[in-house]
Amino acid sequence: MLFDSDVTGKYIKEGQEASSSEETQSEETQTKLWEISGRYTSLNGYEPLAPPPRPVEEDIKPKEQAEKKAEEEKKEAETGEEKKEEEQEEKKDEKDADKTEDEKPKIEDCDKSAEETTKPVD
């Protein structure tokens, strides 16, 4: 294995000296990379190059826009259903709270009702 501190500028793969891809060995590709890097970093001798603009919503493909919109609508629908359920629970709780003590079922009534429904049929 190569772990010599004197080795520099070599491509090492899995601890062994290896050749890099053909694309990285192309002088034309190396020159383009150096040129673009120099421009993006405003290196002396290179005309500065601004980074590309971020894509705006209109640049997204129509299919992706439709998928995104469908996801948003689905989330809104789920949230709407949850809100409806919460509102129904609140209304039910309010109705129960508004009942007087006489209107509320008593434990004894429930016991009687249970006894009536469990009597054997003759």
Amino acid at 8: T
DSSP for residue 120: P
Q: What is the DSSP letter of 106?
A: P
Element (H, E) at 78: helix 62-98
How far apart are the C-alpha atoms of 100 and 112, rounded to whole Å? Answer: 21
In whole numbers, what is the pLDDT of the chain averaged over residues? 77
In residues, how long is the chain? 122
The DSSP output letter for 112 is H
> What pLDDT does 118 receive?
59
The counts of H helices and E strands in the chain are: 4, 2
* pLDDT, tens only, 38-59: 998 989 998 998 878 887 766 5
Give the tens place of pLDDT for each residue, 46-95. Answer: 899 887 888 776 656 677 778 888 888 888 877 777 777 888 888 777 77
Sequence spans of domains, the chain: 1-52, 55-96
